[in-house]
Structure 1
Amino acid sequence: MHGASRRNDDGLSALLQPARSTAVVDIGANPIDGDPPYKPMLQSGLCRVTGFDPHPQALAQLQACKGAFETYLPYAVGDGGSHTLNICRGIGFASLLQPEPKTLTHFPNFTELGRVVDRLPLDTRRLDDIAEIEHIDLLKIDIQGGELSVFRNGRSKLAKAVAIQTEVSFVPLYEKQPVFGDIDLELRSLGFIPHMFVAINKKMIAPMMGPNPAAAFNQLVEADVVYVRDFIQAEAMDSEQLKHLALIAHHCYASFDLALNCVHHLASRGAVAPDAKNRYVALLQANRPKVAGGRL
């Protein structure tokens, strides 16, 4: 499988011939949630990653495992002001926002996991002010309620971005935490539309408690959502944007239909070979015979 994936990577990149590697920015790069979506691109040398995490333990782990195409910095990205990082017993609960005690009592173990064990004063940096970032094609962000502040203070850097994977909350676990509707309105104002759910986090509502407190019924708590630059308005994207959107759609999310749509527009512009659509379909047929439940 890994061999097929790499042949796919090489074939699509050769077909599109982007001017540079895909630029990935990962804010809240803590690796506790498993492999990031861009890992296939990173392994194939198709992207460069600039990651941020002010949590000392998370940053140390990232630095210890990084490869040649990865840079990790200890900056807290936000509104540019001075804040306090609330370090909680559960490492995934660390946030610039204060945990909301009443909400936490409604989910098994959350009160303990959200207990603040240390507070780290820090200065945040606006995304637009970070000199180490030259380009953003894909932004992955998960900073426990601070996402909206990053978007609002990163409009210039995000102007050319083509994909954003962000955590959204349906039940605010922190005081004054923006929720899904707030994030959705902001990203739509930046020219993005929802594309897919990567993960949906449901939790059991207390006082019910089973043998596995992490088990869930139906209550939505959080989700990871991918937004993409509005492909309906493809004429608003330049050819380099379309190339990186195709690469991200294909390699990170198996969104082959979106990738083909990008290739279609590129071919119409003469930015890739006239037969690029047929060559991409052939590449898919050779490596992934079934797509979305049907054959190409």
Structure 2
Amino acid sequence: MGLGWVDALEPDRLTGVVDIGANPIDGEPPYADMLRSGLCTVTGFEPQPSALAQLRREAGPLERYLPLAIGDGHDHELKVTWMNGMTSVLEPDVERLSTLNEFVRYGEVLERTRVATTPLDDVEDLGPLDLLKIDVQGAELMIFAHGRRTLTQAVAVHTEVSFAPLYVDQPLFGDVDAELRAQGFVFHAFAAVKRWPVAPGVLDGEIFAHHHQVIEADAVYVKDFGRLDLLTPDQLKHLSLVAHHVYGSCDLVVRCLARLVDTGEVAPRVLDAYATHLGRALSLDGVRSDT
């Protein structure tokens, strides 16, 4: 695969990425570099026809995109909004939106349509799932709750979480955090944080400047690295690959590699190879050298 430490890791297959809500409206997905390097496969779900068509036009040989709407197995009303990125099965909360500059316009519902949803646990031929990336405008908790069996194989979840509700009865960060922790994940990092100006003030004529209110973020959860004994060798390998290639979390990579070495699953040379790749000196004692 072109990287010494990856060769030493000897994964049996490519890392499996599942992308729910794969609409490319926000630009490249977090796993884009890993995909370009030929280190992962992607199974994406996108029910909006125009977005699905774009994804399929631009897809490479390691990607496939399906028109399913993932949810709880029931039909829902899809609210298509003025801003494509706010389209959701949840109802925009006009009162809440009015507290943020421009958001009432963004959340204006232009069309309502019925959409059938499929639980993640009921998707056939899903393939390997190591990293789940999900962005479904408030429906994340519903999907997690109806995908618990499938998510047992995942080692990382990249999800949008909300701190300021934009929809009626929208689950917030605490709700999502509780569900994922109950499924054996722990919060690892914020990959991105979105701040927005509180309405109605506009300073210096700049409507989108001088903003401090955190409204949402991309949160990264990983399987509990305090209980690596609960993970299979295959999961440890793919957690290492995701942590490095998607998030640059070299400390988490080393913890996983050290566990694999300790259990005899991989040769000790993988640690030297990883240190060489990083161009860093590596020790495993966790003690400062100047103490």
TM-score tier, shorter chain, comes to over 0.9
Residue 193 of structure 1 aligns to which amino acid in structure 2? V
C-alpha contact (below 8 Å) 2:5/2:273 kept by paired residues:
no
Corresponding residue for residue 36 of structure 1: 29
Corresponding residue for residue 216 of structure 2: 222
TM value normalised by structure 1: 0.91
Residue 180 of structure 1 aligns to which amino acid in structure 2? F
Corresponding residue for residue 109 of structure 2: 116
TM value normalised by structure 2: 0.93
Structure 2: runs of 5 or more not aligned: 281-291
Give the counterpart of 2:170 among 177, 187, 191: 177
Corresponding residue for residue 290 of structure 1: none
Residue 277 of structure 2 aligns to which amino acid in structure 1? L
- Distance in 2 between residues matched to 1:93 and 1:274, nearest whole Å: 48
Give the counterpart of 1:163 among 130, 152, 156: 156
C-alpha contact (below 8 Å) 1:27/1:140 kept by paired residues:
yes
Change in Cα spacing, 1:216 to 1:168, as seen in structure 2 (3 Å) is: farther
Give the counterpart of 1:254 among 245, 248, 256: 248
* 1:40 CA drift (Å): 1.3
Corresponding residue for residue 231 of structure 2: 237
The count of residues paired between Structure 1 and Structure 2 equals 279
- Distance in 2 between residues matched to 1:94 and 1:216, nearest whole Å: 27
Compare the two structures and name the one with the higher helix fraction.
Answer: 1
Corresponding residue for residue 137 of structure 1: 130
Corresponding residue for residue 69 of structure 1: 62
- Once the two structures are superposed, residues 195-240 of structure 1 have per-residue CA deviations (whole angstroms, 9 ceiling, x without a partner) of 0001111110001124343334211100000000001101000100
Corresponding residue for residue 274 of structure 2: 280
Specify the SS of the correspondent of 1:283. Answer: helix
C-alpha contact (below 8 Å) 1:246/1:258 kept by paired residues:
yes
Q: CA RMSD in A?
A: 1.3
* 1:141 CA drift (Å): 0.4
C-alpha contact (below 8 Å) 2:5/2:271 kept by paired residues:
no
Structure 1: runs of 5 or more not aligned: 1-5, 287-296
Corresponding residue for residue 261 of structure 2: 267
Give the counterpart of 2:41 among 45, 48, 70: 48
Specify the SS of the correspondent of 1:71. Answer: strand
C-alpha contact (below 8 Å) 1:12/1:247 kept by paired residues:
no
